[in-house]
Structure 1
Amino acid sequence: MNRNLSLKFIFIVLVVAWSFYEMYPPKSRDLITVFTERAVRQDDAFKKVVDQARELQKANPDHSFSNLRQAIGDTPITNYFPFFETGGEQFPTTFILNRLQRESAGKIKLGLDLQGGTAFLVEMDTTKLSNTNDITGALSQAVEVLRRRVDRFGVAEPIIQPEGADRIRIQLPGLSEDVKESAKNTIQRAAFLEFRMVDPKSDEYIRDGEVPPGCELLVRKERQRNGSERLEQVIVKKKAERGLNGSAIKSAMVVRGNLGEPQISFTMNSEGAAIFAEITKENIGRRLAIVLDGKLYSAPVIQGEIPTGNGQITGQFDLREAFELANVLENPLKTPLRVIQSNDVDPGLGKDSIKSGVKASLIGVAAVAGFMLVYYMLAGMIANIALITNIIILIGVMCSVGTTFTLPGIAGIVLTVGMAVDANVLIYERIREELAKGKSLRGAVAAGYDRAFSTIFDSHVTTLISSIILIFMGTGSVKGFGVALTIGVAASLFTALVVTRLIFDFLLQRNLIKSLPMLHIIRTTKLDFMKLAKPAFVASWLLILIGNAYGLHRGKDVLGVEFSGGDTITLALDQNHIVDEKDLRTSIAKTGVGDVLIGYQQDVDKSERSLRITVRGISEKADATASTDEKVITQLKADFKDANFTVRSVDHVGPTVGVELRNTAIVAALIAMFGILVYVAFRYEFSFAVGAVIAIIH
């Protein structure tokens, strides 16, 4: 092997070795095991925690993080992990567990569609913010506040990141059913707490039906000692007294009242306590209203100065709501949030998706590799070596940049496999043509690579134009598809032109091959394509006109939920009690949720059917969108108890998001075509570029 080939070989080996290094370890280690191994100075209390976590793990094997968090409880663990700096952390236990979770995590990170979990896209209400700087600051503050709120749920490695100017994407893997709704409420709640003075003539104004300027009427339900409820109305100022609001809250906790009802006890910081002391000192005998998110919770009479900055909030809430309220009071938002898109995936469905995705990928790779081996023989084997190298490099690079593997990402990997082989096919066909001209094998291989290079390079660059646009303009799983395709296309260019050429050069240099046999099923043909131009023109335009006419006839039905907005619900059910679609439609009609599409899906692996329900035309109102899936699921479970419906996934897209996705898709397609137009125009001729774009549009 000459020096040039040796250097290429060493370079390829180093790239492959680096890829394997980036992939290791592929799977996550057991968190409880890592927790035990990393702890120092273990005592009986620590061992008790580990034993309890192991017992919980047997019952819930897929929730290591929450099992360990539950086993720890209030036990301090900072002394077992002194190497973690927890001095400035509000929740040191959660901080330590998150660090251990990252240490135990495998390099192959799975998306929610593959591991199960809950995702939200929330939008800030920016109407209360005056300028761009306020919006930017509120977005950054909201990200940190939501992170602190989510930490209370013991979620392993949550993803909370800004998206655009006023939105935040939140991904919470592994939430149990009873926690999902609480998480959603906690995320949305602004917890804007205000301390306002009650007007001294409140009762008089209410009796006369008047509301003085600068005040407003607030109402609350008050529970009596005998269990009955009394409606209380008070006139309060519209603005907080001396600007005293929730930003002054230092801590909040749940306590029990005289009747055992949950109450919120809060403590203010030093600045807030000083203002609170002045207000209570100057207004003894008057009432101070505690208003949260515009709702009156209590309006006690000030009996004397309160210098400590302590207080309580009473109201009609259960224990879960009280804990949610205490959580958000400690982490208040500057502006309200609303969920405009959500996705719920059951962990069981995630496992099934992994199996299906891996199986489909293996079948696809095996089919392509088998075809190449049979049709191109030795050359096909060389192409398959390059194909395997391509996949190794692709996964290695994805792991190195921290890409999350999703179902669309797996689709991008499979598409890359096809493109990688396509490049080899172009090269081999060129080699065949050169051999037919009577060239030697060495000369035919060199000429084949030279002649195929420009075609392969151009096809890969035009694909890269589209995939890069997907990365910058796409969101979520679409971006994942773009990342996988971009890395895969770049890797396939390397393996098709460098790896296979190196193998051919090595074999030719050692005289290990004298010929390159290949099958040739489709012989050289002479088709007069232009002779078929007119019939093809008529047929294609007929198809275009008929297709577009039918699309216009369908109207908005032609758009999926991603573009029109709505809910997509997937339910598993007892296979012995399959419900007729007509009966399902009648049941869902009782909920009054609007237009519904119903269909069964067949799981090939398990030979089981699952029910897929699509609800379109959802209202913009948050309350309506939030409860649509619950209405449908509750109604079906009530009407068809024998079917034993269980939720596999729920995907909600708000109308606003649907319109934006549709517009973004159109803009992305136009930019991609313009990019291809520019590239082909510079690479060849402008007329070629126009023809290529028109063909795409056609």
Structure 2
Amino acid sequence: MKSSIIWKLILSVVIVGWAVLNLLPMENEDFDTFIQTRATAHQDEYQAFLDRAEGRVDDGTPLFLAIKQQADEENLDLYHEFFPDVDLVYVKNQEKRNNVIMNVLYEESRGKLHLGLDLAGGVAFTLKLKDTPENAAAAKVQLKEAVEIIQSRINGLGVAEPVIREVGNNQIEVQLPGLDLEKNPEAADKLKKPAHLEFRLVHRDLVPGPGVTTPVGYEAMILEDEDDKGNIVERPYFVKIIPEATGDIVDRAYPTTGMYGGFEIGLNFTSEGGEAFADMTRKIAAEDKARNALGSGKMAIVLDGKLYSALGLNNGEPITGGSARITGRFSQIEAEELANVLNNPLKFELEVGEKYVISPTLASDARTASIEACLLGAGLVVAFMIFYYLLAGVVSVASVGLSVVVVLGVLMSVGGTLTLPGIAALVLTIGMAVDANILIFERMREELTAGKNPKNALRGGYEKAFSTIVDANITTLITAGILIWLGAGPVKGFGVTLAIGIGASMFGALVISRFLLEILVSVGLLKRISLFGFLNKAKFNFLRVRRPAFICSWCIVALGIFAVATHMNHILGIDFRGGVEITMDFDSAHRPSIAEIDSLAEANDLGEIQAGFQSIIGTSNERLKLQIDTAEGRAEQVVAALQQAFPDSQLTKLSESAVGATVSDSITRNAFLSVAVALVGILLYVALRFEFGYGIGAVVATVHDVLMSIGLFVVVGQYFGIGSGQFTAPMVAAILMIVGYSINDTIVVFDRIREELDLNPDMNLFDTVNLAINRTLSRTLLTSLTTLMAAIALYIFGAGVVIDFALIFIIGILTGTFSSIFIASPVFFWWHKGSRQHVTERHLTRPTYEWETTTRRARDAGPDKA
């Protein structure tokens, strides 16, 4: 076997194997069962210890907490006694170490595949403003700020899919998938920390003690430290009440390893903050020298009223490096959590209210139908690729399948959560991921038609498709990078997922597919690509109808914009506008289902209703929660309809309150900003890689596709009743997918135009553009067809938000295919006034291709440039 095949095989096995390890085990194991056999040392003693701990469970204490309490009571070191195999950064303090061990074990018991609130439910709790401002407007401002900060604390990468929204005029509701508050009861407390950081001076001469009077302007504080054996040691200080500076001078906090073990918090200051901190330490250093008492002056770091560090100067020199550390020998988890809240500080206090378990937000039959639709969509793509491309199709399916495993593995490794729209997006990604394989196969077909043998056709196909694949994916990767950089919440999460998907699909096409095809060619099994020749010799004159097509297209865009403007009050769902939340009690023996409530809402025109069940933690009593729109009288209408439809349920309204949007204004603004900046990035890249006219064509086509997709979605929904015509949170991801699809499709056509300009030096621009479009037509339509099959399956057989998600993507596929031919290419043609010379004069460099020989390049460059 050739070395080129061997290294690709080894690389593929390593990457796919790593991804699989990140996915296994997929399902959660009950912690109480898992912990029974987890010990790897002193099993007999462990079983006896478990028996003692389980005695506490009889009092209502969860086994997770019972084990920690029993270990503390017996002064037992869980790490050394029972779990020495746990990969643990050593923590000296035994109590802390036991806590870390239990958290690690709990994570081990959880499956790697995390499901979202729609599929698996989760937990929720409320956070209330501790001191609600009397001014309602001021309270509203604080709530909005708190929602955004809590969002940032929970969801740094935007892949955890929480629900965070305002409730009433002084509360925030936080819904988290896959969290067990009985095992992690302090989760809510960690989120509510204000993270008010202060830098204060420590009194030089006095320390608290018997008979010592507190100096004016100071307060006594205790610093909890650890000795060499990990025992907690209390060190008292008098600390100045008025701080020298606050957390405003900090640019970033991050966990870092300490000099003597454990973790600390590193602080990087802003440029102004660094100068301010240096000035503070200069004053300390100057007074140290004046007193001839180096090290007597200290700077206290106080967080939320607790003293964490009392820093002395190093050899009496001021700290001018723009950074400092909060010492304390934290565990890694504590350091990461503390750094997180410091990076997202609150300026006011919150307190925890109710904690409750919530059921899946999607009805079970809707979940089942949508998952079956996802499987059908993926199956259609697989069947088509094998039918059309035979053995090469099998290779494509294998590479795309393994790419999906890599995507899921990477996503789970960064804490991703899989929701139903996420699964739908993954299925559509499968349809799009075959694009690179189709490009390669169509190029191989051309090489075989030209008379090359399979081995040379394979090499030539990859060489000719390589630049196109790279250009198409880099432009999409630019979009993903900017979404990660400027986006927030689900927008940033989509950017992360998109970037992972791009990398995985390129790996699948260029590495996995390549070595599999090389094996088939080397053993003589692959002699032809397909039995079919779809539009291989197409000679349509697309540019001849460019004007009417362009005008009609933009008229449709204008119609869509008009529909959006006139229906603005109806097209934004509760996720964007907020609504009213109704809490109802009911007879548990006659529990209405979410599917029945959804059907009732549709039959009686009750507007959008998001229904779910919750039960207060520690009780078995369920409540029905309904989120509805804010139309006047809607609450009374919904309650009356439910009570009439389900008389045996004895539905009783308990409360009603306003709820805010789950997609905040900042997320929406960041989404628009991200797309705008991404378009500029694409323009610059294409202009540098190709030429400016190509960049203009790509940007105009992308804007066209987004506007037309949104407009048509609203038109068919509001005027024809196809889909809801209403935008919910998952629709943001669908629109961003359209951006990626549109760019990819356009770049493929442009790359072929550039190639044909070089290969046909005597052909005019009009004919060259037409030739390029015809040469890529089979690839364009085949890619659109595979993605369209998946999307149509989701639309026909899916349920709930999946239907709208699929519908807008169906529209996006059609508009993206249309625009690459009738928008992007004509804009490029018009930009250059139909002149080939205009294009050539504006090329920064003449493009070269992998398959060109040195002689050919030298000849075309001319005697002065060769």
Q: TM-score, normalised by structure 1?
A: 0.58
Matched, 1:430 2:430: no
Change over 3 Å in CA distance of 1:570–1:393 after alignment to 2: farther
8 A contact 2:488–2:667 mirrored in 1: no
Q: What SS does the aligned partner of 1:14 have?
A: helix
CA-to-aligned-CA distance 1:75-110 (integer Å, 9 cap, x gap):
566646532899869899876643320232333333
Matched, 1:573 2:578: no
Q: What SS does the aligned partner of 1:106 have?
A: coil
Q: Which amino acid aligns with 1:684?
A: F
Task: Give the Cα separation in 2 of the matches to 1:578 and 1:170.
Answer: 24
Please, which of 492, 495, 507 is the counterpart of residue 479 of structure 1?
492
CA-to-aligned-CA distance 1:380-402 (integer Å, 9 cap, x gap):
01111211221222223333444
Matched, 1:34 2:34: yes
Change over 3 Å in CA distance of 1:271–1:630 after alignment to 2: farther
CA-to-aligned-CA distance 1:231-270 (integer Å, 9 cap, x gap):
xxxxxxxxxxx9999999x9xxxxxxxxxxxxxxxxxx99
8 A contact 1:563–1:661 mirrored in 2: no
Change over 3 Å in CA distance of 1:69–1:392 after alignment to 2: closer
Task: Give the Cα separation in 1 of the matches to 2:9 and 2:602.
Answer: 64
Matched, 1:615 2:634: no
8 A contact 2:116–2:161 mirrored in 1: no
Matched, 1:551 2:546: no
Task: Give the Cα separation in 1 of the matches to 2:367 and 2:96.
Answer: 34
2:290 corresponds to which residue? none
1:447 corresponds to which residue? 460
Moved more, 365-374 or 482-491: 482-491
Task: Give the Cα separation in 2 of the matches to 1:652 and 1:75.
Answer: 44
2:501 corresponds to which residue? 488
8 A contact 2:163–2:662 mirrored in 1: no
Task: Give the Cα separation in 1 of the matches to 2:95 and 2:494.
Answer: 37
Task: Give the Cα separation in 2 of the matches to 1:685 and 1:653.
Answer: 50
Change over 3 Å in CA distance of 1:172–1:48 after alignment to 2: farther
Q: Which amino acid aligns with 2:114?
A: K
CA-to-aligned-CA distance 1:394-450 (integer Å, 9 cap, x gap):
223333444343445434433332232111111111222222233322222222211
Q: Which amino acid aligns with 2:112?
A: K
1:498 corresponds to which residue? 511
Task: Give the Cα separation in 2 of the matches to 1:345 and 1:652.
Answer: 19
Q: What SS does the aligned partner of 2:78 have?
A: coil
With CA pairs under 8 Å and 6+ residues apart, which has the higher RCO, 1 or 2?
Answer: 2
Task: Give the Cα separation in 2 of the matches to 1:71 and 1:639.
Answer: 47
Q: What SS does the aligned partner of 1:83 have?
A: helix
Please, which of 78, 81, 88 is the counterpart of residue 82 of structure 1?
78
Task: Give the Cα separation in 2 of the matches to 1:541 and 1:386.
Answer: 39
1:691 corresponds to which residue? 697
Task: Give the Cα separation in 1 of the matches to 2:647 and 2:63.
Answer: 36
CA-to-aligned-CA distance 1:145-193 (integer Å, 9 cap, x gap):
x99xxxxxxxxx99999xxxxx999664568999999998997798x9x
CA-to-aligned-CA distance 1:531-580 (integer Å, 9 cap, x gap):
22232133223212222222222234333334334458899835779885
2:120 corresponds to which residue? 115
1:377 to partner: Cα distance:
0.8
Task: Give the Cα separation in 2 of the matches to 1:184 and 1:651.
Answer: 22
8 A contact 1:408–1:478 mirrored in 2: no
8 A contact 2:573–2:608 mirrored in 1: no
2:795 corresponds to which residue? none
Change over 3 Å in CA distance of 1:181–1:614 after alignment to 2: farther
Change over 3 Å in CA distance of 1:447–1:652 after alignment to 2: farther
Change over 3 Å in CA distance of 1:656–1:375 after alignment to 2: closer
Task: Give the Cα separation in 2 of the matches to 1:576 and 1:160.
Answer: 24
2:63 corresponds to which residue? 68
Matched, 1:101 2:113: no
Task: Give the Cα separation in 2 of the matches to 1:160 and 1:245.
Answer: 41
Q: Which amino acid aligns with 2:665?
A: V
Task: Give the Cα separation in 1 of the matches to 2:398 and 2:35.
Answer: 41
1:503 to partner: Cα distance:
1.9
The count of residues paired between Structure 1 and Structure 2 equals: 509
Task: Give the Cα separation in 1 of the matches to 2:599 and 2:419.
Answer: 32
1:358 to partner: Cα distance:
4.9
Matched, 1:537 2:556: no
Matched, 1:376 2:382: no
* Residue segments in structure 1 that go unaligned for 5+ positions in a row: 57-65, 129-134, 148-156, 162-166, 193-241, 251-268, 276-332, 587-595, 602-609, 619-627
8 A contact 1:115–1:351 mirrored in 2: no
Q: What SS does the aligned partner of 1:573 have?
A: coil
Matched, 1:520 2:544: no
1:611 to partner: Cα distance:
11
2:682 corresponds to which residue? 676
Change over 3 Å in CA distance of 1:527–1:344 after alignment to 2: farther
Task: Give the Cα separation in 2 of the matches to 1:561 and 1:182.
Answer: 30
User: What does 1:606-645 align with in structure 2 at a 5 Å threshold?
Assistant: 614-616=628-630, 641-642=646-647, 644=649
Matched, 1:658 2:664: yes
Task: Give the Cα separation in 2 of the matches to 1:10 and 1:180.
Answer: 41
Task: Give the Cα separation in 1 of the matches to 2:631 and 2:118.
Answer: 25
Q: What SS does the aligned partner of 2:686 have?
A: helix
1:70 to partner: Cα distance:
7.6
Task: Give the Cα separation in 2 of the matches to 1:176 and 1:462.
Answer: 41
Q: Which amino acid aligns with 2:592?
A: L
8 A contact 1:112–1:350 mirrored in 2: no
2:432 corresponds to which residue? 419
1:343 to partner: Cα distance:
12
Percent identity over paired residues: 32
User: What does 1:327-476 align with in structure 2 at a 5 Å threshold?
Assistant: 335-337=348-350, 345-347=358-360, 349=362, 358-476=371-489
Task: Give the Cα separation in 1 of the matches to 2:412 and 2:601.
Answer: 44
Q: Which amino acid aligns with 2:103?
A: N
Q: Which amino acid aligns with 1:685?
A: E
Q: Which amino acid aligns with 2:78?
A: P
1:13 to partner: Cα distance:
2.3
Change over 3 Å in CA distance of 1:113–1:617 after alignment to 2: same
Task: Give the Cα separation in 2 of the matches to 1:570 and 1:372.
Answer: 50
Change over 3 Å in CA distance of 1:179–1:8 after alignment to 2: closer
Task: Give the Cα separation in 2 of the matches to 1:83 and 1:182.
Answer: 22
Task: Give the Cα separation in 2 of the matches to 1:180 and 1:97.
Answer: 10
Task: Give the Cα separation in 1 of the matches to 2:636 and 2:184.
Answer: 16
8 A contact 1:118–1:180 mirrored in 2: no
Moved more, 172-181 or 361-370: 172-181
Task: Give the Cα separation in 2 of the matches to 1:488 and 1:180.
Answer: 32
Q: Which amino acid aligns with 1:110?
A: L
Q: Which amino acid aligns with 2:63?
A: L
8 A contact 2:582–2:657 mirrored in 1: yes
8 A contact 1:441–1:515 mirrored in 2: yes
1:634 to partner: Cα distance:
7.2
1:151 corresponds to which residue? none
CA-to-aligned-CA distance 1:322-366 (integer Å, 9 cap, x gap):
xxxxxxxxxxx9723499xx9985247598787566544433322
Moved more, 523-532 or 86-95: 86-95
Q: What SS does the aligned partner of 1:450 have?
A: helix
Q: What SS does the aligned partner of 1:511 have?
A: coil
Task: Give the Cα separation in 2 of the matches to 1:343 and 1:421.
Answer: 44
Task: Give the Cα separation in 2 of the matches to 1:671 and 1:106.
Answer: 38
Task: Give the Cα separation in 1 of the matches to 2:502 and 2:178.
Answer: 33
Change over 3 Å in CA distance of 1:384–1:583 after alignment to 2: closer
8 A contact 2:122–2:360 mirrored in 1: yes
1:375 to partner: Cα distance:
0.8
CA-to-aligned-CA distance 1:56-79 (integer Å, 9 cap, x gap):
9xxxxxxxxx84358779756664
8 A contact 2:79–2:98 mirrored in 1: no
Q: Which amino acid aligns with 2:486?
A: M
2:262 corresponds to which residue? none
Change over 3 Å in CA distance of 1:109–1:532 after alignment to 2: same
User: What does 1:228-247 align with in structure 2 at a 5 Å threshold?
Assistant: none
